[in-house]
Every structure is written in C-alpha cells, then in structure tokens.
Amino acid sequence: MNTLKALKSLLSKGIISDQQSAVIESYIVKKPFSVHWELRSLLYLGILLFGSGLGVIIYENIDTIGHQAIIALISLITAASFFYSYKFRLPFSWQKVTNSNKFSDYTLLLGCTTFLILEGYLQFQYQFFGTKYGIAIFIPTLIFFFCAYRFDHKGVLSMAITGLASWLGLTIAPLSILAENDFTDLKLIATAIFLGLLLIAISWISEEKDIKKHFGFSYLFLGGNLAALANLTALFNQDTKIAYFILGVALSAFFIVRSRKAQSLVFLLMGLVYGYIILTYAIFKLLPDTALGFLGIYYFLFSSIGVIFFLLNFKKFLRIKK
C-alpha cells in the first residue's frame, strides 16, 4: 500500500476533505527524509566503541603513558560531559522529562562511562580506596542513581542498578545472569532473590505513586529476571524446594498480573515461561519415574495447548480493554 493509494481510499470514504487531501499529498511529495534515528544510533554506537577502545588502550599502555596524563585526559572528558549535561539541564520533576537538547542525553552517558573508567584507574594505580572495594563500587552507583533521576536517563539508571548489583557481588546484565553468577552458593542466591524483590518493589512504587513512572520497566525487568532466575536455579539445586516453588509461582503470577499495568507485555511472557518451567519441574518431580515417558507426551501436548489458549484470550482473562 503506498501512501497515495491510502490517501485516495480515505478521500473516497469522505473521511478527509479535498482540501485536506491536497495538503497531505503535497506533504507526501515534499516530505523530507528523516535520518534522525540513524544518526542517533550512530552516535550511540560511536560512544560505546570509543569507550571500549579507550578502556583497552589505557589498560595496554598503562606503563608507557604517564599516569597523570591519562587521568587528566579522562577527567577532562568526564568533567566536560557532565558540564554539558548540567548546562542544558531541565528543571527537575518526578514525571517524565524530555530534554529537547540534542546531545545532553549522550554526553551524560559518556560522562558516566568515563567516570567509571577514571575511578577504576585511580583504584588500579593508586589504590585510591585501599581495600574498601565496596565504597569504590558504591560511589558511582550513588552518582548514577542521582543522575538518572535528575536528568531523567534510563540508560544511566540501568548502569546504576548494575552497580548496585555488583556492590552485592552479583551480575545483573540480562544475558549474563546465569553465566556469571555462581548460584550454587546459597548466600548469593539469597542476595539475588532479595535484591530482585527489592527492585520489583521499587518498580511497583514508581508506577503506583507516579515517581518517574517510566523507570518502572527497567526496575521490573532487571530485578524480575534476577529474582526469577536465581529462584529457578535454587529450585533445581537446593533442598527446601517447596519454599522456592511457592516463591517462584508467586513471582510468575505477579509478572502476569503486573503486565496489565506495566508498559510492556514482556512481563506476561516472563511470567508464563518461568511459571511453566516451575510447574513442569514440580509435576515431573512428584510423578513416579515409570509413568513419566508416557504421560510426558500428553502433559506437554495439552499444557502447551492450554498456554496457547490462555495467550489467545489473555486480554479477556486479564481484563485488558484496548
């Protein structure tokens, strides 16, 4: 369907007037080609590449470049970035703030990244924080949380949440939760579940009390996955299975119910997948081994059809109107 054909259809149904049609047609013909998102993506990717490259270069040349020179350079970049964002700041609000300045979002991200590099460098070279690693991680986390709320930046918020997690010895990055956390350690599992629940609670408060409502997604997604995955590994490996089972089912149900309010149906999917795995595991654990092979086929066939039926009618079940 090209746009001119659509225009004709609208005109033939009498939805738009001839005059309006002429306006729209001239708009279609003259419409400039927007490269807005292409340029933004290029900028974003550029910052990511530059940050990574710079980090490695410094690491490789730590002996040859003067330390002071490197520190001065990084500090300069950091300060300039923060200054730029500060200069073009908007008044603070608990609601969403959209900054019309074209670069301040990106300079803030750059500033936060280089700040991490700077801090790591100081610690590596001068043991700036001695052996108090906790403080070394906690300081940027605090700053990032502050910046995220002050300048309304979801990316920096994610960095802050990551920092908070690594302060507790966890990796929260979505693709690395299972690979990089040692979930055989009961203490770590407890920490992960606790932090996950805390983040879920924060997301809940954000959305209910309208405190930076749009941050709810990041909190719920990062925290929810952490809690659910930690809980799942605990269910598989640990002894008190019934406790983990109840918690897991509760979490899944929470995700499914929450997807009504949250901005994304990704939580519906999360709840279903985690819930399905937990229930399946429980059923197979309870059934005697001899019945498994035969019943397994029926179970998977009918349960997955059941889930499909639920998904085809989820709006009805969850009373979502749109």
Partner 1 sequence: MKKAYNEFWVNNLAIQQISEQWHFKNLITAEQLESVKTDFPVEFYRPGLFVKIGLFIFACIACSFFSGFISLFILDAGEKAFALVSIVCCICFTLFLEFLIKDRKLFHSGVDNALLYSAFGASVIPFFLLFNNMQVWQYCVLALVILTVAMIRYADLFVVICAYCVVFTLLANLMMKFALGKALLPFAIIALSVVIFYSATKIRSTYYADCKKVVKVLSLVTLYLGGNYFIVREGNAMLGDLPYLLSPQIPFAPIFYIFSTIIPLVYIFFGLKMKDRILLLVGLFALGFSIFTYRYYFGFLTLAQGLAVSGAFMVILSIICIRFLKETRFGITDEPDSERKIANLEALIAAQYLGQAPQEHGLEFGGGNFSGAGAGSDY
> Which of 19, 35, 291, 316 is close enough to bind partner 1 by CB under 8 A?
35
Site string for partner 1, 278-297 (x = CB under 8 A): -------------------x
Stretch that binds partner 1, among 77-85, 117-125, 237-245, 247-255 (CB under 8 A): 117-125
How many chain residues are in contact with partner 1, going by CB under 8 A? Answer: 100
- Indicate whether 90 belongs to the interface with partner 1 (CB under 8 A): no
Residue type, 129: F
Query: At closest approach, how far in Å is the CB of 318 from partner 1?
Result: 11
Between the alpha carbon of residue 240 and those of residues 4, 190, 231, 294, the distances in Å are 65, 13, 11, 29
- Considering only 133, 146, 284, 317, the residue that binds partner 1 (CB under 8 A) is 133
Contact 61, 54 (CB under 8 A): no
Report if residue 98 touches partner 1, rule: CB under 8 A. no
Q: Considering the rule CB under 8 A, would residue 314 count as an interface residue with partner 1?
A: yes
Q: Which of 70, 77, 108, 156 binds partner 1 (CB under 8 A)?
A: 156
Total Cβ atoms within 10 A of residue 206: 20
Q: Both ends of the chain: CA-CA distance in Å?
A: 26
The rounded distance, in Å, linking the Cα atoms of 219 and 206 is 9
What size, in residues, is the chain?
322
Tell me which amino acid residue 162 is: T
Q: Does residue 161 interact with partner 1 by CB under 8 A?
A: yes
Smallest gap from residue 78 Cβ to partner 1 (A): 11
CB 278 within 8 A of CB 241: no
Residue entry with tokens 């119910």: 257
Smallest gap from Cβ 194 to partner 1, in A, equals: 19
Per the rule left: phi > 0, alpha: psi between -120 and 50, beta: everything else, 264 is beta
Single out the residue of 70, 108, 117, 170 in contact with partner 1 (rule: CB under 8 A).
117
Per CB under 8 A, contacts with partner 1 among 257-276 are: 264-266, 268-269, 272-273, 276
Phi, psi of 88, rounded to the nearest 5 degrees: -100, 25
130 contributes a contact to partner 1 by CB under 8 A: no
At closest approach, how far in Å is the CB of 6 from partner 1?
4
Q: Does 24 bind partner 1 (CB under 8 A)?
A: yes
Rounded Cα distance, 256 and 278, in Å: 15
DSSP summary character for residue 100: -
Shortest distance (Å) from residue 193 CB to partner 1: 19
Contact pattern for partner 1 over residues 167 through 206, marking x by CB under 8 A: x-x-xxxxxx------------------------------
Contact region for partner 1 (CB under 8 A) — 32-40, 183-191, 194-202, 226-234? Answer: 32-40
Contact stretch for partner 1 (CB under 8 A) within 50-58, 85-93, 183-191, 228-236: 50-58
Cβ proximity to partner 1, 77 vs 234, nearer residue: 77
The C-alpha angle 107, 111, 117, rounded to 5 degrees, equals: 145
Q: Which of 203, 202, 114 is nearest to 156 (CA)?
A: 114
| Residue 249 binds partner 1, judged by CB under 8 A | no
Helix (H) or strand (E) holding 85: helix 67-87
Task: Pick the closest to residue 252 from 268, 275, 226, 230 (CA basis).
Answer: 275
CA distance linking residue 312 with residue 97, whole number of Å: 36
The yes or no reply on residue 136 touching partner 1 (CB under 8 A) is: yes
201-230 residues in contact with partner 1 (CB under 8 A) are 217-218, 221-222
